[in-house]
Amino acid sequence: MPVLLFLMNKNISRRFNALQRLMLIICCVPIIGNAQTLNLYDAVNKAVTNYPLLRQRQSEISAGRAHVNTVNGSRLPSLLLMDQINIGTNNSLQGSYLTFGMIPSTPGTNNSPIQNNSLNPNNEAVSFLQWEFYNFGYYRAQQREARAQLAVNEANFSSDKYLVTENIISLYLDWLKKFRLLQIQNENLQRARVILTAIRATVNSGLKPGVDSSTASAAFSDARIAYLQALDEYNYDKITILSYTGLNTNNLMPDSSFITAALLQGPAQVVPADSVPAVHPLLNVYEKQYEQQIADNNTISKKYLPKLGLDGVTWLRNSGISYSGVYPQSIADGLPYSKYNYLFGVTLSYNLFDLKHRHDQLIEGRYAAEAKQSAMQTQQLNLNKMMQQANSTYATTLEKLKEIPVQLFSAKQAYGQQVALYKSGLNTLIDVTNAQYVLLQAETNYVITQDELLQLLYIRAGLGGQLDNFLQNFKR
């Protein structure tokens, strides 16, 4: 009976180990599956094409171009054509009054004290021309302001495109780091499984105490939890990448084959710079806003200058009342035009009280221009500080990356030696676990330091205006 129980327990143990291996294979599917590879160059291009904010900026540029055309058309004169057929009474009085824009005109010399309620049909057609042909540069100022606003829209697009590109690069590199850390956790899980399998065999044979099996089982569970946590972080970044790029496939993984090329060739392609160039997109948008404010101030200075205009009007008119004062017999008698007139004149208009408005608005515009100029200088200081910090950190990170391979090689050797000693009974499981932890930390530090160097490379490239050169390392 004890022999039978022993065989049954041994069979259950084998099945349990087989189930563990199956679960491990299932967990590793995201890594070893036939996933679609997305490289950084394509990720950036897809984000720039599909991200709604950049499409909004492109529409604003189109609107700015349309506004330039609208302003260019403001030089055209106004030509108003009107015709009206009226019927009503005809009683006029002498004396002047303000029409308020709504009191109808009743011209004529009928000053009879008797109210006449007879109806008088009449007809009138008017052609009215109004053209402000000279306004001392106001038209040109409006055109310059419209072009300056278009330049701001274009600068906003370039700035947002740069920020989206930076964001995607940072996110992609973080996703790539999470992918490599996931692989490391998977390898660590494999090592924990091998140790657990070996210890269980020795414990079952009576060569090792049962506590080693429990300790190894706990270490295996800890490694699997760490793997699942790394998998969750990897998937979180993948979902964010999908939202930026507009891709709709979950079977996606980053391209890690260009890491070595990027680390080796990147520093050669990115020329170190001590300051941010003046044409940088994040500076150019402030400069264009400042120029737009200057153009707006110039428009205000021209807006309140005198204006020269050409006004002209022609009109045809008929009244059903005869020259002797006889009212018409039918409405048709008032329709045919009987007389016409025309009138042309050159006008000069200037509001003296506009001088106060002009003075106040120019002061407001001057302070607004000073604020935009200060904002541009502040941005330049911040970007230059970021450049200097990136240059300083890059040097120390590069030295760290040179040292970590030594640590990684030593950690691998130490782990192999500790496993061999444990199998020979010359050390304890704690020694093996410690060596395994040191190896895991060395592998993790290597990936993290490589990611830090890549992040610094793209930051320096972006601030130095060489982001395209950096992206070439990830282009297939």
Residue 327 within a domain: no
Amino acid at 405: P
Buried b (16+ CB within 10 A) or exposed e, 263-276: beebbeebeebeeb
Residue 318 within a domain: no
Residue 211 within a domain: yes
Residue 106 within a domain: no
Residue 119 within a domain: no
The answer for residues whose C-beta is within 8 angstroms of residue 439's C-beta and 6 or more apart is 188, 191, 408, 411, 412, 414, 415
Domain count, the chain: 1
What averages of pLDDT result for each successive group of 10 residues across the chain (476 residues)? 34 39 42 72 91 92 94 88 77 65 64 72 86 91 95 95 93 94 94 85 67 82 94 93 85 81 59 80 94 95 91 85 73 77 90 87 94 95 92 88 89 91 82 91 92 90 86 78
3-class secondary-structure state, position 280: coil
* Long-range pairs for 322-331: beta carbons < 8 A, 24 or more residues apart: 325/110, 327/118, 327/119, 327/120, 328/120, 328/121, 331/87, 331/121
Q: How far apart are CA 285 and CA 81, in angstroms?
A: 46
Q: Structural domain of residue 232, as residue ranges?
A: 33-70+140-296+358-474
The predicted structure's pLDDT at residue 5: 32
Q: How far apart are CA 213 and CA 195, in angstroms?
A: 9
pTM: 0.77
The predicted structure's pLDDT at residue 290: 96
The predicted structure's pLDDT at residue 286: 95
For residue 461, what is the domain's CATH number? 1.20.1600.10
The predicted structure's pLDDT at residue 18: 39
Residue 25 within a domain: no
Residue 4 within a domain: no
Alpha carbon distance, N-terminus to C-terminus of the chain: 67
pLDDT in tens, 356-369: 889 999 999 999 99
The predicted structure's pLDDT at residue 271: 66
Residue 346 within a domain: no
